[in-house]
């Protein structure tokens, strides 16, 4: 049994390593400074000059916007699900079940749904459309992750605050949020990681362009779609660039994840009951 556990653990770590190595080796040839600092020029997709700055900036804007918007919605929902407010009432459980179902909905369905709504409203594929579709994808992830984080805050910690004459809201604001902060940050990062990597939901809603967006209503490129389109071409050098794009995406996700972990561990210095 112990051997099986070790083997499984090794498979997880090994899988990550192999993934990083393969993507790096495949993409290394195409990786250059121009790749991350330039926009694609006319013949980029035929193997000529240019870079993927449009997709990098686009992905950061899409994922950042969606994470921000989802966070604004997820935090109050997660608070409502706590015993102190909605609690374990039927209404709260209905919300929880809805979130679980939404979590399971494939992101292409959100893309198609968003596309339909946008057609109805007469909107073009745009940064705003992409952000809204991605928000739908990450909102349930973030809300449920935050819900679990809040549920880990012990009742006796809240009681310590109530016993000093604090109201429910004062306790939430000054004690529970503070105690939950590192976990909340992890929930946000989880959502960001999911958002920046999602291709299906932005395919129809955000579109693709070689330019940087000038407003929320302009179409915008993204790294997952850059990978998708480039891998689909018949030219080996363009396909190699797809791996370079995948590598950039991977590095972005790893940077955010590692940075977030460092920040979370700094913040948990003050947590009670570590």
90 binds another protein, rule: CB under 8 A: no
Which of 37, 41, 167, 265 contacts another protein by CB under 8 A?
167
274 binds another protein, rule: CB under 8 A: yes
Cβ of residue 151: shortest distance to another protein, in angstroms?
16
Of 49-57, 153-161, 191-199, 212-220, which segment contacts another protein by CB under 8 A?
Answer: 153-161
Task: Give the Cβ contact number of residue 218 at 10 Å.
Answer: 18
| Inter-CA distances, 94 with 5, 101, 265, Å | 37, 10, 34
- Which two three-digit tokens encode residue 39? 């926009």
Task: Find out whether 217 and 126 touch, Cβ atoms under 8 Å.
Answer: yes
Cβ of residue 87: shortest distance to another protein, in angstroms?
8
159 binds another protein, rule: CB under 8 A: yes
As a 3-state breakdown, the chain gives helix, strand, coil percent values, each rounded to 5, of 75, 0, 25
152 binds another protein, rule: CB under 8 A: no
Cβ of residue 152: shortest distance to another protein, in angstroms?
12
269 binds another protein, rule: CB under 8 A: yes
Which of 49, 100, 170, 237 contacts another protein by CB under 8 A?
170
Which of 20, 160, 212, 250 contacts another protein by CB under 8 A?
160
Of 6-14, 100-108, 167-175, 238-246, which segment contacts another protein by CB under 8 A?
Answer: 167-175
80 binds another protein, rule: CB under 8 A: no
Which of 28, 174, 255, 265 contacts another protein by CB under 8 A?
174
Task: Find out whether 19 and 197 touch, Cβ atoms under 8 Å.
Answer: no
Task: Find out whether 88 and 153 touch, Cβ atoms under 8 Å.
Answer: no
Instruction: Give the C-alpha separation, 215 to 200, whole Å.
Output: 22
Phi, psi of 213 (to 5 degrees): -70, 140
Cβ of residue 269: shortest distance to another protein, in angstroms?
5
Task: Find out whether 3 and 17 touch, Cβ atoms under 8 Å.
Answer: no
Total of chain residues touching another protein, rule CB under 8 A: 24
163 binds another protein, rule: CB under 8 A: yes
Which of 152, 156, 232, 236 contacts another protein by CB under 8 A?
156
Instruction: Give the C-alpha separation, 219 to 128, whole Å.
Output: 9
**What DSSP assignment string belongs to 220-267?**
---HHHHHHHHHTSS-HHHHHHHHHHHHHHHHHHHHHHHHHHHHHHHH
Q: Which residues bind another protein (CB under 8 A)?
A: 154-157, 159-167, 170, 174-175, 178-179, 269-274
């Amino acid at each position: 049994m112990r051997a099986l556990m070790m083997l499984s653990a090794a498979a997880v770590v090994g899988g990550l390593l192999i993934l990083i190595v393969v993507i790096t080796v495949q993409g290394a040839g195409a990786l250059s400074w121009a790749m991350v600092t330039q926009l694609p020029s006319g013949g980029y997709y035929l193997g000529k000059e240019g870079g993927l700055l449009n997709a990098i900036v686009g992905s950061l804007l899409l994922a950042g916007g969606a994470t921000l918007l989802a966070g604004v919605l997820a935090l109050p929902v997660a608070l409502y699900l706590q015993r102190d407010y909605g609690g374990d009432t039927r209404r709260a459980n209905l919300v929880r079940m809805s979130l679980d179902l939404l979590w399971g909905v494939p992101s292409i369905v959100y893309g198609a749904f968003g596309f339909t709504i946008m057609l109805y409203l007469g909107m073009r594929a745009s940064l705003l459309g992409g952000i809204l579709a991605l928000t739908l994808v990450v909102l349930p992830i973030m809300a449920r992750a935050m819900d679990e984080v809040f549920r880990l805050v012990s009742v006796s910690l809240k009681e310590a605050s109530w016993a000093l004459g604090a109201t429910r809201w004062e306790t939430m604001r000054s004690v529970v949020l503070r105690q939950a902060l590192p976990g909340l940050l992890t929930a946000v990062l989880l959502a960001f990681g999911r958002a920046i990597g999602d291709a299906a939901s932005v395919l129809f809603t955000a579109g693709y362009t070689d330019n940087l967006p000038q407003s929320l209503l302009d179409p915008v490129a993204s790294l997952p779609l850059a990978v998708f389109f480039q891998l689909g071409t018949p030219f080996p050098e363009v396909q190699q660039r797809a791996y370079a794009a995948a590598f950039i995406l991977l590095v972005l996700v790893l940077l955010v994840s590692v940075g977030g972990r460092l920040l979370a561990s700094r913040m948990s210095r003050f947590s009670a009951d570590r």
